[in-house]
Every structure is written in structure tokens, then in C-alpha cells.
A and B are shown apart, each in its own frame.
Chain A
């Protein structure tokens, strides 16, 4: 089982690495980070703040975009091109295929985020003429972005297991946008009454809560992130993504590959 899982995981990673779009995104992000000093020309004395905001937001947003745009084809592309036929006719269980694909994309996103983080810290080093103790907590935001990718990838994979790539992209992106405002949705739900309140509460707790994973402006202003929040977010992201991946497996187990 481990051998088959790792084979699918590494092949998914290899596909992404050999896909030039991924390289273009990295180059684009590095260019974006390089443009930070340009922004600082407009806002004197705020170079670090702008760089942190732009850098961490780019790491998060580009990761989410990669997760969605690669994720939508993870299963559907394999069915469309029939590559799945030669895999599932072997001693590979359907759940192994889904989980292997999931882990492969997560490996891609993690490597991608690490490369971006490296670029980001290099930019920080140049801007601040060195690295300081206050730069370490910024990694919490990168960690939260990785947790965000866990959920986005699982959600996209779920849509990809039963829908077309275009609809999967629309659904996943819509859910990402709604999830970004999950805290506002919860505030609205607590203020609403009757059926509206019930529906809003249900939706607020069903959609992934991405707002709790966004601490960019807090770390940019050197605010401390509580250890409890790190633990809560870790458990939340792991459980949410595990549940959604399990749903993707359930859907895929029953699917006729026409």
C-alpha cells in the first residue's frame, strides 16, 4: 500500500514539476517580491510592512490558485485521457489513487511555498539589511497558508471527483471566497433569526473557515499569535481536509469510469 501511495504521490509531484506553468508562477512571485522596494518609494519608512503583506499574501494566494488549477484536473484529466484505466486495472485501490493524488499536490504546494518563503526571506534580508528575531513569527503565517492549502486541495479534489474541470474551478473558488469571509458569516448568523439564522449558521459552520487561517496583517504588525490558535487551526485543517478527502473517496468509489 505504501509503495503504491508513494508512487502515485511522486508521479503527481513530478507532473507538476515538469509543468512549466509552475515555474512561471514561481518566477512571477519572485518578481512580485522584487517589486516591494518599488512600493516603498511611495510609502517612505514602510518597506518592511509592505513587503511582509505582499510577500505573505502572494504565498497564500498563489498556493491557492495552484491548488485549484492543478486540483481540478487531478481526477477528471486522468479519466478524460484514460490514464486512470491502466492504473485502476492494477492492484491499486480507488482510495489509494485519491489519497496519492492529494498527497502529490500537497507535496507540490509545500515545495512551492518553501521556495516562495525562501525568496521572501531573501527580500526581507535585502530590505532590512539582515534578518532579525521579529522575522521568525512570520513563518506562522506561512504555516497557516499550508493549512489553507490542505483544505483547498481536498475541496478541489472532491469537486474534481464528480464534476468537470470548469465547474470544479468555479465551485472551489466560490468556496474559497466564502470561506475567507467565514467570520463575517458567523457574525451574521448569530444576529439573524428564524430560518435565515438557521441556514446562515449551518452554512457558516459547513464552509471552511479561512479567515481564522489568515494572520498576515497581525504578523505584519508584530502581533503575537497564541499557541492555542496554532493548535486549533492545525486540528481544524487536518480534520476538515480528512473529512472532505473521505467524501471524495466515497464519491469516487461509486463512480463508473465511462
Chain B
């Protein structure tokens, strides 16, 4: 079953002094997202990611096309009760405390007073804000605000969660925390649709990705296929150049600096190589999985020459 179905969705803005010129921001987007799937919506800045999310949230109106969420038109009030949304770089009422903000959004989403009373402290604990008390949001760090953002998006326990650049502007620790929260949503069986231009985030979390560029959908790929598409390699670094002679049959590419060897191997050969290195008494320094294919896929799909196709 599809949680989200988008059919020919387009948006153009009037530009120029007399507003007579039309500048397309999204051109005939057709896309389907399965229920329970974590779907990455990738594209460089200005590709049309935020436009798509704003259209689905009913914040702007499409020039053409339609979309359904959970089998109903995206603007249906019933749908709104079953979805959550985190905008890019969100700002909340900074005169409120985190419990007040969540209570307010819970109320707008139709939660009863008793449900809110139980749900809000639970949720604050879940996003790691259990100890903030009644501190106003104006005193929160960016990472804490982003956690409030995720909390408000799921306060009413929605089935589908839309996140617009959820890791944008966060430090590595903040990004890790948000990634964990999204992983939690995924584990809870929610459908997660999130836009990002950070490929490592998409790679870590997504089941499938779509690439948009200049308002056009350039491709949709399954992460598992992309990983196993010949690009799933590992980088192994060890000390003991002599072992390279014996290990040569597993190595795709190597670089030797003194006794230090940096070699690229297929992940399927990794165990054999490590066993061999142990036998050769080489000292293992590191093993790093290399998933270069998403980046390759992204670059191929966003290149100027790439024709628009699904």
C-alpha cells in the first residue's frame, strides 16, 4: 500500500515586475512512497524539495497535479490528523516552554487534555528533553530546538512524518541525535519522508531515495540495490607491506607508504582478507565500509546532461 502518491505535481511562481513571467519550481512530479518506508528526497539546494513538502502540507497551491496521503487527498482535514511535519530550520513561539509548545500543538491536533497530560512528558523524555522544565524556548540551543521540532511533529502519534532538512545547521552530535530519533520512528513502523542534501544521512536511514534537480525528478533508487550495485567496498589499512604480496588476489586497489598499506577490497572478500592478514601477522589499523554508489548515483542524476526520467 502506498502512504503517499504524487501525480504530476507542478508549481510555478509568477516573477518579474508585472508578475507575467512564470518560473517553474516543480515540474510534473510523480512519485509513490510505500507505507512504513523511510524515503529520502534528495537534491541540491533549490532543487524543489521544500516546494514539494509545502505543496503536500497545503502551504502553497499546485499549478497542476494532485497528491494523496494515506489514500485521501492531501488537503483532507482527516489526513492532517494522521501526518506530522517538521519544516526546515523551524522557529517556535520562543516565549513558550517545551511542554507548553507540545501541549499547544497537541491541542491543535485534536488530542484531549488527559492524553496531552500523559503524552507531553513522555515525548519530552523520548527526545531527550525530559529535564528542561519550564525554560522558555528562547534559551534553547539549535539542537534542542530541532528536538522540539521532531517532538511537535509526532506529538499526535502520526502515521506519516514529513521532515524538511532535519539535520540542517546542526553540529555532528546534534545530527547524530536527530538521526537516532528518525531511526526510532522507522523502528516504530512510521512512514518517514525526509528531504536532505546530506547524502550520508540518506544512506544511513533510507530504504529508497528519489533525486530531484531543477524541479524535475531525476530518478528513484532502492538503497539496498545501490549498495549492492558493484560499489559496496571496504577500505582496509594495515601495517606490514609484505602481506600485500599474498593478499593481492583480494585487493582491487592499493597504496603503500613505507610499511603502511591502504587497500580497497570488495566487502564479500573482506573476511578472507582479514583472515589472511592475521595469518601473515600484519597489524590491522582500520576497516571502513565504502558506499560510494549513492554519491555516484546522485551526481549522475543531477548532472546537466541527465535527461529527466523516472
A80 to chain B, nearest CB (A): 9
Q: Which of A11, A89, A254, A257 contacts B85 (CB 8 A)?
A: A89
Residue among A15, A89, A257 with most chain B CB within 10 A: A89
A88 in contact (CB, < 8 A): yes
**What is the CB-to-nearest-CB distance from B134 to chain A, in angstroms, rounded to a whole number?**
12
Q: Are A257 and B60 within 8 A (Cβ)? A: yes
Instruction: Report A215-258 residues with CB < 8 Å from chain B CB.
Output: 254, 256-258
Contact A90 B95 (CB under 8 A): no
Q: Are B107 and A89 in contact (CB under 8 A)?
A: no
- Cβ–Cβ contact B90 & A4, under 8 A: no
* Residue pair B85, A85 in contact (C-beta under 8 Å): yes
Query: Would you give the shortest CB distance from A87 to chain B, in whole angstroms?
Result: 6
Binds A, one of B38-46, B76-84, B124-132: B76-84
For the complex formed, measure the closest distance between the CB of B146 and the CB atoms of chain A, giving whole angstroms: 13
Interface size on A (CB < 8 Å)? 26
By size class, the interface of chain B is 20 to 34
Chain B CB count within 10 A is highest, among A7, A11, A85, for: A85
* Closest residue on chain B to residue A86 by CB atoms: B152
Q: Given that A7-B107, A82-B91, A85-B87 are known contacts, is A91 also in contact with B59, CB under 8 Å in the complex?
A: no
Chain B min CB distance to A11 (Å): 6
Tell yes or no: A18 within 8 A of B by CB.
yes
Most buried by A among B83, B84, B108: B108
Interchain CB contact under 8 A, A256 and B110: no
Chain B residues whose CB sits within 8 angstroms of the CB of A129 once the complex forms? none
CB distance from B183 to the nearest CB of A (A): 22
Asked if A92 is an interface residue, CB under 8 A from chain B, the answer is yes
Evaluate contact between A89 and B80: CB separation under 8 angstroms: yes
Q: In the bound complex, do residue A91 and residue B80 qualify as a contact, i.e. CB atoms below 8 Å apart? A: yes
B297 at the interface (CB under 8 A from A): no
A86 engages B54 (CB within 8 Å): no
The interface residues of chain A lying within 8 Å CB-to-CB of B162 are: 89
Residues of A84-140 whose CB lies within 8 A of B: 84-93
> Is the CB–CB distance between A3 and B110 below 8 Å?
yes
- Residues on A with beta carbons closer than 8 Å to the beta carbon of B156: 90
Is the Cβ of B95 less than 8 Å from the Cβ of A85? no
Contact of A18 with B59 at beta-carbon distance under 8 Å, contacts A7-B107, A86-B90, A91-B80 already known: no
CB distance from B86 to the nearest CB of A (A): 8
Q: Considering the complex, give the chain B residue whose CB is closest to the CB of A19.
A: B95
Task: Assess the B58–A82 pair: CB atoms within 8 A.
Answer: no
Name the 10 nearest CB pairs between A and B, nearest first.
A89-B85, A91-B80, A89-B57, A256-B60, A85-B87, A7-B107, A18-B95, A257-B59, A81-B91, A91-B77
Beyond the given pairs A11-B93, A90-B156, 15 more chain A to chain B contacts, judged by CB atoms under 8 angstroms and listed by A's residue number, are A8-B108, A82-B87, A85-B57, A85-B85, A86-B85, A86-B92, A86-B152, A86-B153, A89-B58, A89-B85, A91-B78, A91-B81, A256-B13, A256-B60, A256-B61
Q: Which residues of B contact A (CB under 8 A)?
A: 13, 54, 57-61, 77-78, 80-81, 83-87, 89-93, 95-96, 104-105, 107-110, 152-153, 156, 162
